[in-house]
Chains A and B, each alone.
Chain A
């Protein structure tokens, strides 16, 4: 036993050192958001000599003609629609795969698994062409509509796996009581799917909030920009960047994912652990 004590100490020293490395950049970003320009980039002043709250006010209106409120509303609207779309469509689609028999079921299921592995980059250009043909460029439709059509197959797969784990006796009882497929789905399966619905909600929110590529492709007008696009514009356009204000807006932009994470931590960890998603 005496041999094990130094080992345990060593382990904790390593963990603490690692935590510091992991968290230091984020703390630096946070504290930097209160500093003056010249103070941010010196190691010696970790703590701001004076908290400059006006960095936040300046950052908030740093994009000429708009405030970040506009961009936050845009991002929030897109993300919430994506969440709603993903939940609705994935629940619907998973149900027949998990519980019903229908012609071509095996075929469709293999198609589903196939598209799960399909790298999205190959669809990038033709999708853009299609959206352009139907006049959806510079609208939120390309970002939102696919979510309502269960294009994130990963969530569907997750949902199917979960529904399969729900005891069949429950819906058999419902059928005996005279419930058809619709009512069985609504009254029996959905309430039991809460954990996986949380997972889908959390991850679809995070992914669409942090997504940059699609927003970059489809949105051209500053008025329609999301937080990510606005931040990027902030960096690119200003000749004399007020780093403090930029950091302030960066901190605000990661706030929603953080809040989701802290409030839904239990579901979050369960979701990651059981599903193996990022």
Chain B
């Protein structure tokens, strides 16, 4: 009698758990299908492809040949070098600019909304073809920049056609779009408690010292978050290189994804292109890991503060 009484609730509880789990999985279904079909399966497939010689219609297994081929492929090394340079320049510059302007803005309460809107605009449209076209025409031979230089008697050039300048002009285009990061920093700065500044000012700390000792540590988690996302994103830059400079001049803007695109979709070398995309994945993983590991030294979490000292 007793056993029945205790048994009955557990079976209904088990049943309820089962029903609940089923409902949960019904909710998850779209994501699970997408995960398996459009993420997991392609991920595995991508690695398999990297071990083959493939076009859309035929596949032959070649083992590690593609990876070996990379070592003697000058364009691969060039693309990796160009991409790394682009990331190393554009991400820190953009974030520094965003932080600097956010510092200028965050106390100016009345004009802030106005400036914030203005500085955000380039980020809003930055990825579009319209902006690419615009950049091409600003730094073209008969472009705006040359016409400005002409005012000072300086002979212009086709700047985007110069191997020494092209990459930097694309970096400039990204730095121009610092607004999005700035908005994030502004939100972070709002959370820095004002009394900390007052205390520091009483102690006689100047603006630079206050920035280094208070502001920077307190927003370091936001900097880290931005740094990681921007780095992963920048390694995969495509549109600017494809539309503005077409990878040129002399492969100076041949970003990795651009090279992958060219190999896979123009030359039908999907296997080799997959191998390169795996190589790029490894590079991104290493760089991200390094950022994470070093972050322990410079990222400051508020719990540390409450903990002691």
Contacts and interface: CB of A to CB of B under 8 A. Distances in A.
A150 B270 contact: no
A149 B37 CA distance: 10
Contacts of B284: 119
Majority secondary structure, B binding face: helix
Majority secondary structure, A binding face: helix
Q: Max chain B CB contacts within 10 Å: which of A14, A108, A124, A181?
A: A124
Interface string B17-37: 000110111011011011101
Nearest to B34: A149
Contacts of B122: 22, 26
Interface string A151-180: 100001000000000000000000000001
B38 A149 contact: yes
Nearest to B143: A41
Nearest to A213: B238
A149 B23 contact: no
A1 interface: no
Contact of A41 (B20, B120, B128, B147): B147
A120 B38 CA distance: 11
A54 interface: no
B82 to A, nearest CB: 15
A243 interface: yes
Given A258-B124, A261-B124, A111 B134 contact: no
Counting contact residues on chain B (CB < 8 A from A), the size range is: 35 or more
B210 to A, nearest CB: 14
B243 interface: yes
Contacts of A41: 137, 142-144, 147
Contacts of B228: 117
A23 to B, nearest CB: 6
Nearest to A8: B108
A272 B39 contact: no
B121 interface: yes
A121 B236 contact: yes
Contact of A125 (B46, B130, B142, B280): B46
Contact of B23 (A182, A212, A247): A182
Interface in A207-266: 209-213, 216-217, 228, 231-232, 235, 243, 246-247, 250-251, 253-254, 257-258, 261, 265
9 contacts: A18-B101, A41-B142, A100-B20, A112-B31, A117-B288, A121-B281, A126-B46, A232-B243, A278-B180
Given A22-B121, A128-B264, A129-B49, 11 more contacts: A11-B104, A22-B119, A25-B135, A43-B147, A89-B31, A93-B27, A125-B274, A129-B45, A212-B127, A254-B125, A258-B121
Closest 10 interchain pairs by CB?
A: A149-B34, A273-B187, A250-B130, A102-B24, A126-B45, A126-B42, A96-B24, A93-B31, A150-B31, A210-B127
